């Protein structure tokens, strides 16, 4: 399907990504430092490259710059265990397709890579939405930026208007500015958890639907979320197709009753 190059000094991660991607029909090559990665990219010309930000002989920004010199349009995703706003800004200025933090589940990493190797026209093949859902506004709230970015790209490709927030106060401010038809809300966030956000939304008479995401089972929080009118609860790690179906169903349930 696609030729993928993984450049990372963690051999276990390289092996994991290679095995997972090969099972889905991709051809995968690996390199364990920047010099090998740059040479492998020059020789193989992969459709997509997964690049570690911290390599033993150079950082990922330097490797990315060298790759850009030989292939200005190369599709590259940065993967790092210790990111910073400055490095992320540099990477995005160099046109990376995404910037993911190590520690995410293999399923989330795989979904991000899968979307990265799809051609831009792939969104055109997405199932069409019901007419009254096309362009529906959705607010994604999750303290993990990679998950926010992944859901934003996926839902946007399906025709929704998507905004994102990474904490409760930012989510409340966005919802106040423009009330979304649906909020996809992480339960476990620092400072203000998702149930607290949902409680404040209900106090402000937010009429739209809310779908919760959770990475662990806390029965008390789950019960509170359901009592506050959450339409669905989706566990992490999640499958994007499951998210897409859950969003469609939640939007239908969120319709105002006549």
Whether residue 38 has pLDDT greater than 90? yes
**pLDDT value of position 132:** 47
Could you tell me if residue 29 is left (phi over 0), alpha (psi between -120 and 50 degrees) or otherwise beta? Answer: beta
**pLDDT value of position 221:** 85
User: Domain locations in the chain?
Assistant: 3-118, 123-253
Q: List, edge to edge, every strand of the sheet that includes 76-80.
A: 27-31, 3-7, 48-52, 76-80, 98-101
**What are residue 184's DSSP bridge partners?**
140, 211
Whether the Cβ atoms of residue 2 and residue 47 lie closer than 8 Å to each other: yes
**pLDDT value of position 39:** 96
**pLDDT value of position 135:** 66
DSSP, residue by residue, 64-97: HHHHHHH-TT--EEEEESS--HHHHHHHHHTT-S
Give the pLDDT band (50/70/90) at residue 150.
confident
Q: Would the CATH topology of 3-118 be identical to that of 123-253?
A: yes
Instruction: Supply 258's token pair.
Output: 């006549």
Could you tell me if residue 56 is left (phi over 0), alpha (psi between -120 and 50 degrees) or otherwise beta? Answer: alpha
φ, ψ dihedrals at 100, nearest 5°: -110, 145
On average, the pLDDT of the chain sits at 83
The pLDDT tens digits for 176-194 are 888 899 999 999 998 899 9
**pLDDT value of position 129:** 47
Cβ neighbours of 1 (radius 10 Å): 12
CATH homologous superfamily, domain 3-118: Response regulator (3.40.50.2300)
**pLDDT value of position 82:** 61
Q: What is the pTM for the complete model shown?
A: 0.55
CATH of 123-253, one of 3.40.50.2300, 2.60.120.10, 3.40.710.10, 3.20.20.70: 3.40.50.2300
The pLDDT tens digits for 100-136 are 766 666 666 776 676 666 654 444 444 444 444 556 8
> Helices (DSSP H) in the chain: which residue ranges?
11-23, 34-44, 60-70, 85-93, 106-117, 145-157, 168-177, 194-203, 219-227, 240-253
């Amino acid at each position: 399907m696609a030729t993928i190059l993984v450049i990372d000094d963690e051999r276990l991660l390289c092996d994991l990504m290679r095995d997972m991607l090969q099972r889905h029909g991709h051809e995968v090559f690996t390199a364990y430092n920047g010099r090998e990665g740059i040479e492998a990219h020059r020789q193989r010309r992969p459709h997509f490259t997964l690049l570690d930000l911290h390599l033993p002989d150079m950082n990922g920004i330097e490797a990315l710059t060298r790759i850009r010199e030989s292939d200005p349009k190369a599709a590259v995703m940065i993967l790092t265990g210790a990111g910073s706003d400055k490095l992320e800004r540099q990477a995005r200025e160099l046109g990376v397709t995404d910037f993911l933090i190590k520690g995410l589940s293999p399923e989330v990493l795989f979904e991000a890579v899968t979307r990265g190797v799809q051609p831009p026209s792939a969104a055109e093949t997405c199932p069409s939405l019901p007419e009254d859902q096309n362009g529906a506004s959705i607010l994604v709230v999750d303290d993990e930026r990679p998950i926010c970015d992944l859901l934003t790209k996926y839902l946007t490709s399906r025709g929704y208007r998507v905004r994102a927030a990474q904490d409760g106060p930012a989510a409340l401010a966005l919802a106040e500015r423009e009330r979304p038809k649906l909020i996809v809300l992480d339960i476990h966030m620092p400072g203000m958890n998702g149930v607290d956000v949902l409680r404040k939304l209900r106090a402000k008479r937010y009429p739209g639907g809310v779908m919760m995401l959770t990475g662990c089972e806390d029965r008390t929080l789950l019960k509170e979320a359901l009592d506050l009118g959450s339409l669905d609860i989706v566990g992490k790690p999640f499958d994007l197709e499951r998210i897409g179906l859950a969003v469609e169903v939640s939007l239908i349930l969120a319709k105002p009753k006549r």
